[in-house]
Chain A
Amino acid sequence: MAALDLNAIRAIVEGRLATELAIVPVIPVVFHNVAYTPTPGSTWAQCSVSFSNNNYLTMGSTAGASNSVIGVIVVNIFSAKGVGSGANLTVGKRVRDLYNRIVVSGVRFDPPTGPEVVATPSPEGYFQTQVRMTFETFEDL
């Protein structure tokens, strides 16, 4: 029993997405705090993992106790502008299916929200949707 390894959880989340989007048709994916210059008109994805609420789960101090750690995954999907939403939603389904109610190494992914269309894409020049989901893991001290 030990405090959570946040990078191990991040690796689980990002690793699943990287593996999935490496399958043909390959979709480039960029993660938090990594520079990326997209090819204009291409399809690509951006993933960020954040840790948010931490809560007491059980009685106890620094040993024999459990906490709940909740995080959020946001995946932005960019595709060519002016050609409809189909290609974008195809990627969105791949992302959604990747986490929907799945438990991996103690990380429980909740049902995803989206893909929601983003009214003002950032960067501009793309059609953008966003898939968001929370996840929870338990820290056993």
Chain B
Amino acid sequence: MAFYRGEQGSVKFDDAGTTTATIASTRSWSMTIEKDVLETTALGATYKSNIGGLIAGSGSVELIYSASSADETNTFIEAANNPTDQGGAAFELFLDTTGTKKIIFNGLITSADYSATVGELEVITCNFVTTGTITTSI
């Protein structure tokens, strides 16, 4: 059975929503896909019933600050400070190095945590939400 380790993952991003590029020095990513639940229990029923509703995703990407500017990394870590964000940025969250197992969506960076601690690497955590379709090719 094939298992995967975290270091096989990666993140690609493009603020223009077209050609994504790898975010440098990514340490981790996580994503939650949530579905609204609509209750459809009939009057007099013994058990509840539900149907699925609207779907949305959110998550975070943690990276080590490397002052990288030759790719999308700098745009990514500054995106939370963009007041005219239309939510059209392209995200690709990869689960393996072959590039075939990934979650694809458009979205926007909603917040960024910047930190510097004595004796430790400087880490930036960017949180995002999705806009529109989420494709899980995993």
Contacts and interface: CB of A to CB of B under 8 A. Distances in A.
A25 B5 CA distance: 54
A64 B8 CA distance: 11
A61 B8 contact: yes
B76 to A, nearest CB: 14
A12 interface: no
Interface residues of B, number: 17
A125 B49 CA distance: 86
A53 to B, nearest CB: 14
Contacts, number: 33
A102 B64 CA distance: 21
B20 to A, nearest CB: 15
Contacts of A85: none
Interface stretch (B22-30, B50-58, B104-112): B22-30
A103 interface: no
Interface string A108-121: 00100000000000
A64 B10 CA distance: 10
B25 A58 contact: yes
A65 B119 contact: no
A40 interface: no
A66 B8 CA distance: 13
A60 B5 CA distance: 10
A23 interface: no
B7 interface: yes
A57 B122 CA distance: 12
Nearest to B63: A58
> Which 4 pairs show the lowest CB-CB distances between chains A and B?
A59-B26, A58-B25, A61-B97, A59-B9
25 contacts: A56-B6, A56-B7, A57-B25, A57-B27, A57-B121, A58-B7, A58-B64, A59-B6, A59-B7, A59-B8, A59-B9, A59-B10, A59-B11, A59-B26, A59-B27, A59-B28, A60-B7, A60-B97, A61-B7, A61-B8, A61-B97, A64-B22, A66-B25, A66-B64, A110-B119
Interface of A: 56-61, 64-66, 110
Interface of B: 6-11, 22, 24-28, 63-64, 97, 119, 121
